[in-house]
Amino acid sequence: MFRLISDSNKSVNKTVISFFIIIIFVFTHTEAQENYFYTNKPYGSEALFNPVSLIFNGGYDVFQLQSISDRIGDHEYNKMIKVVFRNLGDPFGNIKEYGVWHFIRGEILPLSWEKGNMQWIPNYQQHLIGGGMLYTSMKEWYKEHNFPEPWLFSFVTIMTQHLVNEVLESGPNEGYSVDEVSDIYIFDLGGIVLFSFDSVNEFFSKKLNLADWSLQATVTMPNGKINAGQYFSMKWKPPFSEEYSLFYRYGMGALFGVSKKLNFEDNLSLGLGFKTKHLVDLNSNYRQRTIETGWHAGVFYDRNNSLLASLVFSGVKEYFCMADVYPGIIKIGDFSPGVWGVFGRDGNMTLGFTTRYIFSIGYEMNY
């Protein structure tokens, strides 16, 4: 009897997953009328946007947390991969154990403001909106570089990034979790479907000026640390102002502020807010977490929504000061590299060098 029920659940799970795949194919197999987010700019954050940088910035984003090692070789990848795919392979069983209503109010609908039950916030921000926008951006990148079926290459790239992120975020915890279920099956796939419509892309690109302002993804020496982080910016211009816009930058934390138009192309933005420091486990039976935060402030200079430079301070000791200069400012003839530095309160410093042609490198200096 138990085996029949188990086989039935597996059959239902496979049917649902197949249904999702069909839906994705139907909605994404279309060509947009124009490029909304990626236009092959040779400067700023857009100059560094490619499949490798996207996977590193999105997949290794959690390496910014103090509770997770930022060394690429410190993780039990085989163990974490098995845990994630086990949870994804039995979504309904995990939801039942977690509690259906608990799952809905904490992961799906914005119904809870309780500590540990507000996962719906990053689900909508990073996964639905951010992930959907990146799907369109990556599709436009593949189209600009003459790949066949750019939607398919984009889908594979985006889902690879999402899976890497889930694996690294799962950590050594072997307990069941609904986090992967809501992220992958609902919000990640939902974002791809949502941003397959031109009207949605047009709204977020032209009305909200949504842009990818991720870090300059770099592997540093000699310890193989990863400098990476996925960040998004929005600038909404109210109807009563021509020069100023409301500014919002989010990712591993959030900044709220104002943006001023310097000329036809350039903008200067200031923001204050919080930065995520730790993931805190709340339950020993299943993986349920909340975050611990510190203060955060930054100034950003962009050209046509492509970030050219930023200076960010935070209460996280390893990231007290982060300075980024993207390609387009420093020029050596026709060559324009990017540089970045991370300075900790303990005196440790990491510097990096980036280009749009090869993967970036950095060096750690510890005192």
Q: What percent of the chain has pLDDT over 90?
A: 54
Give residue 334's pLDDT: 85
Instruction: Return d(Cα 367, Cα 347) in angstroms, integer.
Output: 6
The residue that leads in pLDDT, 239 or 232, is 232
pLDDT at 5 over 50: no
Q: Which pair of tokens denotes residue 238?
A: 């109210």
Asked whether the predicted pLDDT for residue 367 surpasses 70, the reply is no
At 303 the three-state DSSP class reads strand
C-alpha 9, offset from chain centre: 32
User: Using a CB cutoff of 8 Å and minimum separation of 24, what contacts does 331-340 make?
Assistant: 336/42, 336/43, 336/47, 338/47, 338/48, 338/216, 340/215, 340/216, 340/218, 340/227
Using the predicted structure, report yes or no on whether residue 250 has a pLDDT greater than 90: yes
Q: What is the pTM of this model?
A: 0.89
Question: What is the rounded (10 degree) CA torsion for 267, 272, 273, 274?
Answer: 100
User: What are 338's two structure tokens?
Assistant: 């990017």
Q: What integer is the mean pLDDT of 120-138? A: 95
The pairing of strands 360-365 and 306-314 is unpaired
Give the integer Cα–Cα distance in Å for 337 and 358. 11
Per-residue pLDDT of 46-89, as tens digits, reads: 999 999 999 999 999 999 988 788 888 888 888 889 989 988 99
pLDDT at 107: 86
Mean pLDDT rounded to a whole number for the chain: 87
State the pLDDT at residue 23.
57
**Worst-scoring range by mean pLDDT, 2-11, 61-70, 343-352?**
2-11
Identity of the amino acid at 362: G
Q: What is the pLDDT of residue 244?
A: 96
**CA pair distance 251, 128, nearest whole angstrom:** 13
Average pLDDT for 9-22 = 53
Q: What is the pLDDT of residue 1?
A: 38
Instruction: Give the other-Cβ count within 10 Å of 46's Cβ.
Output: 27
Give the per-residue pLDDT at 293.
82
pLDDT digits (tens, 9 = 90+) for 297-333: 999 999 999 999 999 999 888 889 999 999 999 998 8
pLDDT of residue 3: 42
Mean pLDDT to the nearest integer, 134-148: 96
